[in-house]
Chains A and B, each alone.
Chain A
Amino acid sequence: MNEPIILLIIGIAIIIFLIMLFYPAKGIIAKVKKSKIASKKILIEDALKYLYNCEYHQIVCTLNGVAGNLSISADDATDIISKLESLGLVNAKKNELILTPDGRSYALRVIRVHRLWEKYLADETSVSENEWHLKAEEIEHTLTPEQANKLAAQIGNPVFDPHGDPIPSAKGDLPVRRGKLLTEMQAGEFANIIHIEDEPYAIYSQIIAEGLYAGMQIRMLLVTDKRIKFIANGEECVLSPLIAKNITVGIVKLEKQIGENFKTLSSLKVGEKGTILGIAKSLRGQQRRRLMDLGIVPGTKIEAELESLTSDPIAYRVRGTIVALRKQQTDRIFIKNSEVEN
């Protein structure tokens, strides 16, 4: 047994086995977890959620729509729907599927957990943005309503999730849909992004990659059926209508606009001064609170003071103290040059 070569091989084998077992997303443990998720209860809840979304957006929902959304065959979808009918959660009329009041409240319970969890991940953890939705898809089927209420209380009973969707209250109340789609805007209009649809995943991650987020202010430049061009945070952004349809905006009145004349804090050179205009919505939770605690609020004067070896972090003088911030943060803090103002 004490032959070093044999031991070496055994040792390497054990390590390879452990990696296969624990590897995130592709490991055996992760796969077992995933296969458990594909149970019937989960399909039923996902179908209800989809039906509710159709209702909310006033789209007619069909059997094929359900099958497509859950990525299951039409036969399986028929199974699920008849199960839902027998439970009294859905009425099927000809081609249209309609939720019963029971079905609606069940769907809202699931949606509540989903959006609460997204809010929790966004504010209280450092899980990255494109994982929020996937993680919430898992947790929504396991958390009980009581646990959900506890979680909501813990994070301050939020009313909107990080994508800008309203979170149903514990009683199942939800406000009417607001805003319009990005594709419905006129050139020259100002608007706030109020919602980014997180499904399908491929489109959502494209939107995230563009750096767009709920709460961002934009100015529309051009709307055609080939492309949508607008200015977001001072940078020009071009999307195809297919992607732009996943973004909902609320038109803002003129007096609330941030002017064209703003830039990010990271563009401030050492020795230059500026005045804070605002902190981007994508800095959330603790990060945002910390910045505000340090006195980084609109109207505060700020000066770049010191550069570290790699120019990240940079130290800034704020309200008489010097604070070093990383580029990842200063990219999302907006300022205007003090010189321009004078």
Chain B
Amino acid sequence: MNNNKFSKESILAAANNLRWEVDENLHDTLMESIYENATSIANKVVKYPDKKQAFSFDRTLDKILTSKYLGFPIMFLILAVVFWITIVGANYPSVFISSVLVDSLHPILKNFADSFMPWWLSGVLIDGAYLAMAWVVSVMLPPMAIFFPVYTLLEDFGYLPRVAFNMDPLYKKVGAHGRQALTMAMGFGCNAAGVVATRVIDSPRERLIAIITNNFSLCNGRWPTQILIATIFIGAAAPAYLAGIASAAAVVFIAVLGITFSLVVSWGLSKTLLKGEASAFSLELPPYRPPRLLQTLYTSLIDRTIFVLWRAVVFALPAGMVIWLVANITIDGISLADHFINWVNPAAFIFGLNGVIILAYIIAIPANEIVIPTVLMLTVANLGLTNLGGGSGVMFEFDSVADTAQILHAGGWTLLTGINLMLFSLLHNPCSTTIYTIYKETKSVKWTVISTFLPILLGLTVTFFVTQLWRIFLS
């Protein structure tokens, strides 16, 4: 009774032939009928309470927040307030944590370790690993613990999608998504968190653009470097009564330059490397809601602050050891660090930098916050100024800007070095926490490598040309 008509092959063949006949709209038709069914069921069983009141409130607020004249001023005002709260508010807890972990606890631990460990082991563990970790925690934790909750509150309230809506025309021009404005703002707090925040961009191509360009947002760890260097070099180059304004303007210029780079690079990426990625735009504007304070505090602390801090600490420990070791392992009586610095100096000179800066950026990869302490330590060690700082391999910072300036001038820094350091601080590889986060988010070695090396290439190109032009025209 084996009826040939119904054999597996013949049924499959018939089905295959029928596929040509079926309309291309099959998927659409399915979708429509699902919606039709759902709507008819919902109409039977769901009652809609009168929501007119909330609607009109939402509408009025939307009209104001996205209006032609008020939209942008309100946006800049809110952003400025958020940054002001972060920078001013973070200062006190930062000083406190630093005084506990670095000033008090570090000597105690060091004495304790020295009592039973060989000097090199206590050096690696306490002066290296512990100190780097303590430094990262004290400078990273407070700004993040303030910035993230405030940001999350704005998000929760429903304001941030309106910012994306306002900014979309600009981002559309460079082939990106309006929500990139949000991830960029988040990047001003922390690039790693900014990269995680790109999850709100649901189009694959635009999301990759946002991830790769997030590093151009000057993050919390780089603001202090910019301010310090601007004060020492740019402020000093200006007349005394203009010093404050000149250095502040320089820092703002660098931040704006970062935004410009993020837009230009977005445009370039969308035209070249990322043409092969899918793109789909939609931007939901959820209704306004009263923010849930406690929940926000909890999630932003756990999901963002602790999450980022943990990754930073994990990378800071081994990097701290490396920092200590390069300064203390000697070959022919010269430390590894000095070997490297002397070897790189001629090449670094072409870019208007120096060997100390290059080495500091390599070994301080876990966090931008420890770049300046590392630079100071290396400069002092390189110059042989043994009476300054905490000893070889021990990162330190001065309380006064003048002392820092003295060391840097002694290290041969000029105004050009200062400018180039500011540029390079903006345009260099993301910190290891961010790199790791990029890998976690994209699951792709290719995009991780591109996001790591593209900024370095840009940075070296920019410093190179600035240096040559400077030397030709200004010296």
Measured CB to CB, the residues of A under 8 A from B are: 2, 4-5, 7-8, 11, 15, 24, 123-127, 159-160, 166, 169, 173, 175, 215, 279, 281, 285-287, 289-292, 294-295, 297-300, 305-310, 312-313, 315, 321-326, 328-329
> 5 shortest A-B CB distances, which residue pairs?
A4-B471, A324-B283, A8-B468, A126-B279, A175-B20
1/0 per residue B65-77: CB within 8 Å of A? 0101001000000
Q: Is the CB of B32 within 8 A of A4?
A: no
Chain B, 161-217, CB within 8 A of any chain A CB: 165-166, 168-169, 172, 178, 202-205
Identify whether the interface residues of B are mostly helix, strand, loop, or mixed. helix
List residues of chain B with CB within 8 A of the CB of A322. 284-287
Asked whether B281 is an interface residue with its Cβ less than 8 Å from the other chain, the reply is: yes
By the criterion CB–CB under 8 Å, are B28 and A8 in contact? Answer: no
Q: Known contacts being A7-B468, A8-B472, is A124 close to B285, with CB within 8 Å?
A: no
In the bound complex, residues from chain B placing their C-beta under 8 Å from that of A299 are 32, 35-36
Q: What's the minimum C-beta distance from B417 to chain A, rounded to whole angstroms?
A: 15
Contacts of B205 in A (CB 8 A): 126
Q: When the two chains form their complex, are residues A291 and B464 in contact, meaning their CB atoms are under 8 A apart?
A: no
Q: How far is the CB of A296 from chain B (nearest CB, A)?
A: 9
- 10 A-B contact pairs sorted by A residue (CB < 8 Å): A4-B469, A5-B472, A8-B472, A126-B205, A126-B275, A285-B278, A286-B203, A287-B281, A312-B169, A323-B282
How near does chain B come to A217, taking the closest CB pair, in angstroms? 12
Considering only CB atoms, which chain A residue lies closest to B62 in the complex?
A306
Say yes or no for B92: interface residue by CB 8 A criterion. no
A328 / chain B contacts, CB cutoff of 8 Å? 281
Question: Can you name the residue of chain A whose Cβ is closest to the Cβ of B36?
Answer: A299
| A8 CA / B280 CA spacing, docked (Å) | 43
Is B333 interfacial (CB-CB < 8 Å)?
Answer: no
A154 CB to closest chain B CB, in angstroms?
A: 13
- The A interface, classified by DSSP as helix, strand, loop or mixed, is mixed
Q: Are A308 and B165 in contact (CB under 8 A)?
A: yes
B343: interface (CB < 8 Å): no
Quick check: is B24 within 8 A (CB to CB) of the other chain?
yes
Residue-by-residue, is B148-171 near A (CB-CB < 8 Å gives 1, otherwise 0)?
000000000000000001101100
> Closest CB-CB distance, A176 to chain B, in whole Å?
9
CB neighbours (8 Å) of B71 from chain A are 309
How far is the CB of A152 from the nearest CB of chain B, in Å? Answer: 12
Q: Is the CB of B31 within 8 A of A321?
A: no
Q: With the chains together, A123 CA to B204 CA distance in Å?
A: 13
Kindly state the separation between the CA atoms of A24 and B465 in the bound complex, as whole angstroms.
25
| Complex contacts, A166 vs chain B, CB 8 Å | 20
Say whether B16 contacts A125, CB under 8 Å. no
Closest-by-CB residue of A relative to B16 is A169
Within the assembled complex, what's the spacing in Å between the Cα atoms of A159 and B15? 12
* CB of A335, distance to nearest CB on chain B (Å): 15
A286 x B32 contact (CB < 8 A)? no
Interfacial chain A residues near B239, Cβ < 8 Å: none
CA A175 to CA B285, docked complex, whole Å: 46
CB closest residue in chain A, given B279: A126
Chain B nearest CB from A70 CB (Å) reads: 28
A20 to chain B, nearest CB (A): 15
Partner of A294, one of B17, B36, B282: B282
The number of chain B residues touching the other chain, given as a range, is 35 or more
Q: Which of A24, A160, A297 contacts B24 (CB 8 A)?
A: A160
Known: A2-B349, A4-B471, A5-B472. A308 touches B169 (CB 8 A): yes
- Least distance between B175 CB and chain A CB atoms (Å): 8
Contacts known (A11-B468, A169-B16); A315 close to B172, Cβ less than 8 A: no
Query: A125 to B277, Cβ gap below 8 A?
Result: yes
Q: Are A291 and B282 in contact (CB under 8 A)?
A: yes
Within the complex, what minimum Cβ distance (angstroms) separates A172 from chain B? 12
A324 is contacted by which of B165, B272, B278, B464 (Cβ under 8 Å)? B165
How far is B35's CA from A298's CA once the two chains are assembled, in angstroms?
10
**Across-interface contacts of B286 in A (CB, < 8 A):** 321-322
In contact, A8 and B172 (Cβ under 8 angstroms): no
Q: List the B residue with the shortest CB-CB distance to A298.
A: B32
B388-421 near A? 1/0 per residue, CB < 8 Å: 0000000000000000000000000000000000
A15 smallest CB distance to B (angstroms):
8
Beyond A159-B24, A305-B59, A313-B165, 5 extra complex contacts between A and B, CB < 8 Å: A4-B471, A125-B278, A127-B276, A287-B280, A312-B168
- A126 lies within 8 A of B282 (CB): no
Q: Are B275 and A306 in contact (CB under 8 A)?
A: no
Other-chain contact of A11, B24, B287, B464 (Cβ < 8 Å): B464
Question: Could you tell me if A125 and B276 are in contact, using CB atoms closer than 8 angstroms?
Answer: yes
Question: Of B203, B276, B284, B468, which one neighbours A4 at CB under 8 angstroms?
Answer: B468
In the complex the two chains form, what is the Cα distance from A166 to B278 in whole Å? 23
Interface 0/1 of B445-475, CB less than 8 Å to A = 0000000000000000100110111011000
State in angstroms the CA–CA spacing of A233 and B313 once bound together.
59
Q: Mark B26-44, 1 if CB is under 8 A from A, else 0.
A: 0010011001100000000
Which residues of B lie under 8 Å from residue A11 when comparing CB positions?
A: 461, 464-465, 468
Residue from A173, A297, A310, A315 within 8 A of B31 (CB atoms):
A297
Contact between chains at B165 and A124 (CB < 8 Å):
no
